[in-house]
Amino acid sequence: MTAHSNIYPTKALQELDAAHHWHPFSDMKSLNEEGSRVITHADGVWLTDSDGKRILDGMAGLWCVQVGHGRREIADAVYKQMNELSYYNTFFKTTHPPAIALSEKLAKLAPAHMNKVFYCSSGSEANDTVFRMVRTYWDKMGKPEKKVIIGRWNGYHGSTLAGTSLGGMKAMHGQGDLPIPGVHHIDQPYWFGEGHEMSPEEFGVFAARKLEETIDEIGEDKVAAFIAEPIQGAGGVIIPPETYWPEIRRILKERDILFVSDEVICGFGRLGEWFGADYYGTKPDLMPIAKGLTSGYLPMGGVMVSDRVAEGLMLAGGEFYHGYTYSGHPACAAAALANLEIIEREGLVERVKTDIGPYLQERWLKLGDHPLVGEARMKGLMGALELVPNKKDPHKPFENVGTVGTICRDISFGNGMVMRAVRDSLIISPPLVLTHEEADFLVKTAEKTLDDTYQVLKKDGWLG
Ligand code: PMP
């Protein structure tokens, strides 16, 4: 078969897919029995499947399609670049105009003290780069005993060895005997699920002080870095209480360890600022980036490096033995530049802050009144609904965690909208170009999905 212009019936595509295609993060046995949904086209915030059904892409692909699907301008920029220089490496004392232009652009957009970028092809590779950079930095600084990196339970930093290890997904650790040595995890600032016996403000400070306790237990002289997402995405859009980041900032300021703000989801406007670090006023030493950098049009990631770390790594000269064939790939860099140009020209970051962000938040939060919802939360354009069996006792979860979330996710798909299930919560992260009308559709569909799910659960005796 050919890749374009689908002429095959859905069933034939599903059978071929089941025969040869191994999907990421999937139970292949049950997926092959059920059959994958085949997406054939996308435009703006709308996907079309192989049966011609239109579906609102409430997840912006996988948290990445900031500018919406089908932007001709990005395709044209890539086409032009591929005709000029489709590929050359950046290893052998060589560079090329797209990598130069993109690096200059990123240095301008990033916080003022971050002026260099190391390229790779994904968020996972960015975090593998972080892992080696952090330890190499301390070696160069004459402190090779500073090796431990602290992450958070239920944090997500990718699925390579370092990415999985730095992340705190226990099910992932169970496959491949991870984490690798020298990684510690502290509890997450998940008030709804783990902290509701305190006020959110108290819990924010309490959760932040876990970092302080852990650094002091291990010894500041042995701790290299702390890594965290400004808001946990894959963990279920965990928005920390307002007191969390200021307290983390205090703790980090008092101790000489590096801070890594994983901006793979929060970067490029998702919170109404260019980076989550701008939103929360943290001062990272390193920032892994990916996803919204190219709006997913081509795979590209990177690590933004602060002046402090860059100077440290270059201090005595010597090579950093690290890099990828596709580091700074010219076509990907061209896609990133065209994408950033659209974000700037259309004022999408500002739009999240002052227009579509508040518009959607106001309506999304009202879904918290639904009998199935224990909490509705949203920041910028990322939100979650916690589904609970009994609204009067909202922190008590469903039995068989994950089943109800999946039921509701499937109903949402059927109703014409992608929401993602994490445990028994439903999450969204729509493209930043979402219009008011589309936001209305999103909320209306979410409401209908909750109603439909409620009926199914009631019939099957799930509700308390
Ligand atoms: N960090 C964060 C915060 C992420 O959300 C992700 C992906 N969801 C990654 C890293 C890994 O990125 P990738 O899938 O591109 O490897």
Note the pLDDT tens digit of each residue in 89-133: 999 999 999 999 999 999 999 999 999 999 999 999 999 999 999
Q: State the distance from the centre of ligand 1 to the C-alpha of 303, rounded, in angstroms.
A: 13
Q: Which of 13, 36, 44, 73 is nearest to 5 (CA)?
A: 13
Q: State the distance from the centre of ligand 1 to the C-alpha of 127, rounded, in angstroms.
A: 9
Q: Percent of the chain beyond pLDDT 90? A: 96
Confidence of residue 325 (pLDDT cuts 50, 70, 90): very high
Name the strand (E) or helix (H) holding 439.
Answer: helix 436-459
Strands 46-49 and 54-56 come out as antiparallel
Q: Which of 281, 262, 264, 268 is nearest to 344 (CA)?
A: 268
Name the strand (E) or helix (H) holding 41.
Answer: strand 39-43
SS3 of 53, please? coil
Environment class of residue 97 by beta-carbon count within 10 Å: exposed (0-12), middle (13-18) or buried (19+)? middle
CB atoms within 10 A of CB 282: 20
- Measured by CA distance, the residue closest to atom 10 of ligand 1 is 157
Q: State the distance from the centre of ligand 1 to the C-alpha of 389, rounded, in angstroms.
A: 31
User: Does position 6 have pLDDT exceeding 80, yes or no?
Assistant: no
Average pLDDT, the chain: 97
Ligand 1 atom, smallest distance to 263 CA: 3
Q: State the distance from the centre of ligand 1 to the C-alpha of 371, rounded, in angstroms.
A: 33
Q: State the distance from the centre of ligand 1 to the C-alpha of 464, rounded, in angstroms.
A: 36
Mean pLDDT across 446-460: 96
> For position 7, what pLDDT does the model report?
80
Structure tokens at 158: 């990718």
Q: Which of 129, 156, 427 to mutate to test the pocket of ligand 1 (most atoms within 8 A of CB)?
A: 156
SS3 of 403, please? helix
Q: State the distance from the centre of ligand 1 to the C-alpha of 123, rounded, in angstroms.
A: 4
CB atoms within 10 A of CB 352: 24
Q: What is the pLDDT of residues 326-350, one digit of tens each?
A: 999 999 999 999 999 999 999 999 9
Amino acid present at 55: I
Q: What is the 8-class DSSP label of residue 336?
A: H
Q: Give alpha helix (H) positions in 382-435.
A: 403-414
Tokens 């996988």 map to which residue?
Answer: 62
Mean pLDDT across 241-259: 97
Q: What is the pLDDT of residues 8-50, one digit of tens each?
A: 899 999 999 999 999 999 999 999 999 999 999 999 999 999 9
Ligand 1 atom, smallest distance to 229 CA: 3
> For position 447, what pLDDT does the model report?
98
Q: What is the pLDDT of residues 206-247, one digit of tens each?
A: 999 999 999 999 999 999 999 999 999 999 999 999 999 999
CA–CA separation, 230 vs 266, rounded Å?
7
Q: Which of 124, 129, 298, 332 to mutate to test the pocket of ligand 1 (most atoms within 8 A of CB)?
A: 124
SS3 of 83, please? helix
CA separation, residue 388 to residues 10, 233, 371, 372, 423 (Å)? 35, 20, 8, 6, 11
- Measured by CA distance, the residue closest to atom 12 of ligand 1 is 123
User: Does position 154 have pLDDT exceeding 70, yes or no?
Assistant: yes
Tokens 């984490």 map to which residue?
Answer: 179
Q: Which residues pair with 184 in a beta bridge?
A: 150
CA–CA separation, 447 vs 254, rounded Å?
46
> For position 374, what pLDDT does the model report?
98
Ligand 1 atom, smallest distance to 124 CA: 16
304 φ, ψ (degrees, to nearest 5)? -80, 130
For residue 159, give every residue at least 6 positions away whose Cβ sits within 8 Å of its Cβ, in sequence order, or none. 24, 25, 124, 172
Amino acid present at 133: M
> For position 4, what pLDDT does the model report?
66
Q: What is the pLDDT of residues 165-178, one digit of tens each?
A: 999 999 999 999 99
For residue 439, give every residue at least 6 positions away whose Cβ sits within 8 Å of its Cβ, in sequence order, or none. 356, 359, 360, 363, 430
Mean pLDDT across 406-410: 96
User: Does position 2 have pLDDT exceeding 80, yes or no?
Assistant: no
CA–CA separation, 241 vs 203, rounded Å?
7
CA separation, residue 320 to residues 118, 346, 449 (Å)? 11, 38, 51
Rounded to the nearest 10 degrees, the angle between the axes of helix 330-345 and helix 97-109 is 40
CA–CA separation, 388 vs 372, rounded Å?
6
Q: State the distance from the centre of ligand 1 to the C-alpha of 233, rounded, in angstroms.
A: 9
Q: State the distance from the centre of ligand 1 to the C-alpha of 219, rounded, in angstroms.
A: 29
Report the pocket of ligand 1 as residue ranges, CB < 6 Å: 122-124, 127, 156-158, 229, 233-234, 262, 264-265, 290, 301
User: Does position 420 have pLDDT exceeding 90, yes or no?
Assistant: yes
Q: Which of 62, 63, 131, 157 to mutate to test the pocket of ligand 1 (most atoms within 8 A of CB)?
A: 157
Confidence of residue 5 (pLDDT cuts 50, 70, 90): low
